[in-house]
Chains A and B, each alone.
Chain A
Amino acid sequence: MPAQDPVIRCRNVWKLFGHSPKNYLETAKGGRSFDEIRQDGYIAAVRDVSVDVGKGEMLVIMGLSGSGKSTLVRCMSRLVDITGGEIAVDGTDIMKLDERELIQLRRRKMGMVFQSFGLLPHRTVLENVAFPLEMRGQDRHDRRERALEVIKLVGLEGREEYYPRELSGGQQQRVGIARSLAIEPDIWFLDEPFSALDPLIRREMQDEFLRLRGMLGKTIVFITHDFDEALRLADRIAIMKDGAIEQCDTPDKIVLKPATPYVAKFTEDVEKSRVVHAGGLVVPVNGYALEGAPVDAGATILQLARQLVNDTREVLPVQGKDGAIMGAMKRQDALDILLGPV
């Protein structure tokens, strides 16, 4: 992580549902497993989570249904009040904000996209997209301009006057995305944005999303239950189970070194050569004599397959985005990933 402060900083965050969760958490501080807590009559939706999201970073939170991933993102946006711990956004503890400050925070800094879109059925596309601008009192002309701009950005030009029910699922989610971007938020939350769409549209929307992400450079927290989607989109992935984070790391590391048997179950069937990049296999140069043309750190092993098979060098130099040599990649390591261990 870069040295600057994280945009979102979670420390020992707990969210319990039950009769009087605050008291329970104080008396039974830590140490209790998900099942023990359930036997005590509480549901631990988020269990002692500490995670940072850096500026411009995209964190994907992956977990099966009921793992607490949706609750965690709602804690970060304070749609849900946490039971214990601390969440800071740009250094401010969001649990200390009063209603007005919270509304201001959302009006200036946050945007969110929902699984089933959360569109207002009585408003046209244009009115839906302009809704956050209307809430903060922007005048009619300005908000129309801006709304048309984002509608164009998500490729819904010409549909401004339609009502949500007149659009397909994919189009509705484009409206949801446009609405979340209308206020030019710094932080962008996406709660399983593509899960309700059919596979072909999902693929198309993922590409569209990658395009937007490249253009906008926002800090993103993305929720999904689809491991492939997580691998495809993430800078870092946090895998959740029973409210706790099992492992939080880059896709390369998760695939190469799953921290727990639970994570390993997901990575088992993944074709690693598609996921792992040359940069993920880098070892320090010391001792190796580097020669010849370097490979790109950002290239996947699959992309380098032909070269790896034909090359005769024992170790290959790896160069980063800036062109500097990051270190060395052992050819054998890469071949192991491509062909499976001997």
Chain B
Amino acid sequence: MAVADFSSTTTSGRGFRPGLSAMLLGLAVFLAVLKPFLPAFAVRLPDAAVLPYDVWFQSLFDFLKDDLGLIYVTRTISAGLEWLLDITANLFYGKHRWPYIGPMPWAAVAAVVAIIGYALKGWKMALLGAVTFVWVALVGQWEIAMQTMSVIAVAAPVAVFVGLVLGIFAWKFPRFEAFLAPVLAIFQTLPFFTYLLPAVIFFKVGPTAGCVATILYAMPPMVLMSTLGLKKVRSEVVEAGHMSGSTRWQMLRHVYIPSARTEILVGVNQVIMLSLAMVVLTAFIGMPGLGAKLLSLMNSLKLGRSFEIGVTIVLIAVTMDRMSKAWVVTQPVHYERGTPWWIRHRYPLLAVGAFIGITVLAQAFPILAEIKRGQDLSIGSEIDSVITAILSNDVVTGVTGWLRGFLVTSVLIPFRNALLWLPTISILLACAAAGCAVGGWRSAALASGFLAIVAATGWWDRAVITLYSVISAVCVAALVGLPLGVLAALKRRWSDPILIACDTAQTFPSFVYLIPAIMLFGVSDVSVVFAIFIFATVPLMRYTIEGIRAVPEEVAEAADMSGATRMQKLFKVQLPLALPTMVIGVNQAIMFAFFMVIIAAFIGTQDLGQELQKTLAGNELGKNFVLGMCVALMALAFNHILMRWSEDRRKTLGLG
């Protein structure tokens, strides 16, 4: 009762909201019903009213690039990056560039990774690192894997450094933070194709462009996490620094940054994972490496070998994720006085020793340096035939074929057509109604304004098709993910392994999710929805489990003592309290879906993603940008409504 009273008093000032929002929704439905009588401009914006935004942006970019000479700045940056990339390329896979030392023997790299793993978290981590790199070498993917790693080895440190510097500025100057926040929000929702084309045009084709796109894509969380960490440094620690007579620089160097270590390292972890996710996708602009190989294998439907590469990518992702997370939680441990230096520094010494030792040994046994074609243990083609056999099995083809036919003809196509049939004005009003319900007229204006811009660009139909894939997939994901999440959360024995599985699945680069989709459903709308669905289910389950587990023990016990049955406890106590967190999960599922739907252009769609992919072939920067903004704005509209609701609800429930 107390909760209900409280919420009614806090919202009484905006009590008109439900009424207004219902009115807007009613109007939307009313106009949809009246569609045949509506004037044409309310159904679709007439072509004449679509202004040539792409041309304008194109000339803006041309102006920046040529007239203002931005191209010279970016070319200089390219030259610097290229120099770094050449060094890592030489060391990692022996590209013929200065310093002409590489490539490092695979066994030496694997040994060093294992030792790092041991130093961070004991023998299990060592085993994970060793298995990953030995696998990569044994299946004969060392060179392409190292092509990918050599870009990450440059992109991740640069993104960390630039992100940290921007984060420090945002923390020091609130105005800069206020400016940066919306820019980063857009950066995080822009489809990756929109990073790629400008990168190519401004930064030269090849690894440099891939590297730049990766840096830009991976940087935002680093900025946010460093600002957050610096803000959270305890005031007493800061005061102790001041009272010790620290100058501003000493404060930053010795007090703030070390005290914000945890958040900064969480940022580093995210940078590494996003770098990997993006660097795989740079295959679309011709970057060699794991992504490119995967792309070409999937193009020729060699699913077994795609599967092998998928395993490689996943192993690398899991290793890098676990190791950087272990780094976050490592605490310094003291050595007793008089411990000799070689024990204090035993891990670096061991790593250097192992590296030199194996490199020398590799002179005698070349197999330790390089596993050549024909020596590898790849069973890709065997898997190919097994998968082909399974997939051509009558039962499997029967089930998937029926499912595909049923979904396409009875669910997906009708739903898509219905969405396309709706007049633009109805969708805008419905969106305004949702915005109004959560945050008053400002949210309504913001959310429907975002969609109105999309309509104004003239890409409305394509945008609606994108929306259709996203909504269908997220609905399926919710139908599967929410019940599973609830079940897992209620059984403590299950929830830990499932949480770990979700965490792991979240580290997979999105590209990997296309493999099972194509395997099962071939090239169709169903496989698009399926790929988005598995990608989006992960955050849904994760946040459901976390939301329910975060319900205070005492509240659950109070429900038990009030004589609630399990069902009553779940529906009256646990779910209402977990709902704000679950909605964050839904929001993330939608953000993930908008990301995946663009990648699914590879399968063959007719939406914005497809148009975006087409722009990559040319140099239509303006069009690329307009399309990218359309995707970002739709995502931001959802993001605004859901996050606003979740925040308000948390406040009302007093969840902090």
Q: Does B245 contact A (CB under 8 A)?
A: yes
Give the Cβ gap from B394 to chain A, nearest Cβ, in Å: 63
Give the Cβ gap from B425 to chain A, nearest Cβ, in Å: 45
Q: Which residues of A contact B240 (CB under 8 A)?
A: 112, 114, 118-120, 176, 179
Inter-subunit contact B242/A120 (CB<8 Å): no
Give the Cβ gap from A325 to chain B, nearest Cβ, in Å: 45
CA distance A131 to B254 in the complex (A): 9
Inter-subunit contact A116/B234 (CB<8 Å): yes
Q: Which residues of A contact B66 (CB under 8 A)?
A: none
Closest to A104 in B: B245
Inter-subunit contact A166/B334 (CB<8 Å): yes
Give the Cβ gap from A174 to chain B, nearest Cβ, in Å: 15
Inter-subunit contact B243/A161 (CB<8 Å): no
Inter-subunit contact A116/B236 (CB<8 Å): yes
Q: Which residues of A contact B397 (CB under 8 A)?
A: none
Query: CB within 8 A of A106: which of B236, B245, B255, B334?
Result: B245
Inter-subunit contact A106/B243 (CB<8 Å): yes
**Which residues of B, 252-281, contact A by the 8 Å Cβ criterion?**
254-255, 258-259, 261
Q: Does A14 contact B (CB under 8 A)?
A: no
Residue of A103, A110, A116, A160 with most partner-chain B CB within 10 A: A103
Q: Does A243 contact B (CB under 8 A)?
A: no
Q: Which residues of A contact B255 (CB under 8 A)?
A: 120
Q: Does B239 contact A (CB under 8 A)?
A: yes
Inter-subunit contact B331/A163 (CB<8 Å): yes
CA distance A11 to B336 in the complex (A): 51
Q: Does A136 contact B (CB under 8 A)?
A: yes
CA distance A120 to B238 in the complex (A): 9
Q: Does A115 contact B (CB under 8 A)?
A: yes
Query: CB within 8 A of B244: which of A124, A160, A179?
Result: A179
Q: Does B410 contact A (CB under 8 A)?
A: no
Q: Does B340 contact A (CB under 8 A)?
A: no
Give the number of chain A interface residues (Cβ < 8 Å): 39
CA distance A54 to B247 in the complex (A): 29
Query: CB within 8 A of A107: which of B236, B239, B245, B258?
Result: B245
CA distance A180 to B246 in the complex (A): 14
Q: Does B388 contact A (CB under 8 A)?
A: no
Chain B 306-341, CB-CB to A under 8 Å as 1, else 0, gives 000000000000000000000000011111110000
Q: Does A132 contact B (CB under 8 A)?
A: yes
CA distance A136 to B245 in the complex (A): 7
| Given A120-B255, A122-B258, A122-B261, A161:B236 Cβ within 8 A | no
Inter-subunit contact B246/A135 (CB<8 Å): yes
Inter-subunit contact B334/A124 (CB<8 Å): yes
Q: Does B237 contact A (CB under 8 A)?
A: yes
Q: Does B250 contact A (CB under 8 A)?
A: yes
Residue of A117, A118, A134, A183 with most partner-chain B CB within 10 A: A118
Give the Cβ gap from B260 to chain A, nearest Cβ, in Å: 11
Residue of A161, A162, A183 with most partner-chain B CB within 10 A: A161
Q: Which residues of A contact B334 (CB under 8 A)?
A: 124, 161-163, 166
Query: CB within 8 A of B337: which of A104, A131, A160, A189?
Result: A160
Chain B 526-550, CB-CB to A under 8 Å as 1, else 0, gives 0000000000000000000000000
CA distance A295 to B246 in the complex (A): 51
Q: Does A121 contact B (CB under 8 A)?
A: yes
Q: Which residues of A contact B246 (CB under 8 A)?
A: 103, 135
Q: List 24 A-B contacts (CB under 8 A).
A: A107-B244, A112-B240, A114-B236, A114-B240, A116-B236, A118-B239, A118-B240, A120-B254, A120-B258, A121-B258, A122-B258, A122-B259, A124-B332, A134-B254, A135-B247, A135-B250, A160-B337, A161-B335, A161-B336, A161-B337, A163-B333, A165-B331, A166-B334, A179-B240
Which 10 A-B pairs have CB atoms at the shortest separation, nearest pair first?
Answer: A107-B245, A118-B240, A118-B236, A132-B244, A106-B245, A161-B334, A112-B243, A122-B258, A114-B236, A103-B245
